[in-house]
Amino acid sequence: MATTVITGRDITLTIATVNYGDQALSTTLAVELERNAYETIDGKQFFALDTTATLSVTMLADWGANSPSSLCEAMWTAASSAPNTSLAYSFTAATGAVFTGNVYPSFPSAGGSGKDAQEVTFVLQGTAKPTLTIS
Amino acid sequence: MPASTILSAVRGPLATALAGVSANVFSYVPENVPVPAVVLVPDSPYLEFDTIGSSTFRCKVNFTISCCVTYSSNPAALDNIEQLIESVVLAIPSGYEVSDVQRPTVTQVGASNLLVADIGVSTHYTRTV
């Protein structure tokens, strides 16, 4: 069997029904499992307590864009006007492996260097562990 | 047919923006170069694919803007090409990254010598249908 390779070109990211693939340079969905460690007379024991999901996005800034409308401004507006309202997202790592869940909006950064395209980054806090659908 | 092409969305608008420069502007490499001239040349790598996803054709397009002036007297030619570079950089529209200017070199085109300097420019293109 040949080695399977998937790349960033296989990723599709949709937040609040908006496809961020048009601008996103990289994105990572990370889930951390928090464990407590207990020293017992039988040795160290671990117990899983909680999970924390974060969705990180680095994208080309599109402040001021009208057609299509700015994704930076959409995220800023969501974070500013409804920071406690979660947004549904879909993260396709590759065909047949789709993560879905909800994240809270976050403010994109703004700025850049003189000779490069402006990039923005933001980290979105997940409401819960994402659901992985394998088909 | 796509609604936009690299020619219509990137090369053409850049050449149009440079039309105000006091030089002959070409959005392609001409057979003969009537100096002073500004020529839009694909850089290498020409297209880079740095965004996620593959459902739409999206890429970073790299160009070299070659500024060419007559090379007869070195001080005068250097002054001419510096002024041409300044006017070209000022004319580059927003949405294009301007990286750097390579040192001027003497290039023989046909029977004449030209002083040529390359300006690195790039932008991002998304194909629309």
* B51, B61, B99: best to mutate for the A interface, most A CBs within 10 A: B51
pLDDT at B2 over 70: no
B124:A60 CB<8 A: yes
* Total domains, chain B: 1
DSSP string, A77-106: HHHHH-TTS-EEEEEEEETTEEEEEEEE--
CA distance A27 to A56: 5
* Total domains, chain A: 1
Write the pLDDT tens digit of every residue in B6-61. Answer: 888 998 889 899 988 888 888 877 878 888 999 999 999 999 999 999 888 999 99
Q: What is the pLDDT of residue A54?
A: 97
- Number of CB atoms found within 10 A of residue B96's CB: 18
- Number of CB atoms found within 10 A of residue A63's CB: 13
Q: Which domain holds residue A126?
A: 8-134
The CATH number of residue A69's host domain is 2.40.30
Q: Which domain holds residue B71?
A: 6-126
Residue B1 maps to a domain? no
Residue A135's alpha-carbon distances to A5, A79, A99, A129, B70, in angstroms, are 18, 33, 12, 19, 65
CA distance A95 to A116: 33
CA distance B51 to A60: 9
Q: What is the pLDDT of residue A105?
A: 95
A116:B97 CB<8 A: yes
User: Nearest chain B Cα to A23, which residue?
Assistant: B51
The CATH number of residue B105's host domain is 3.30.70
Of B52, B99, B124, the CB nearest to A8: B52
Residue A121 maps to a domain? yes
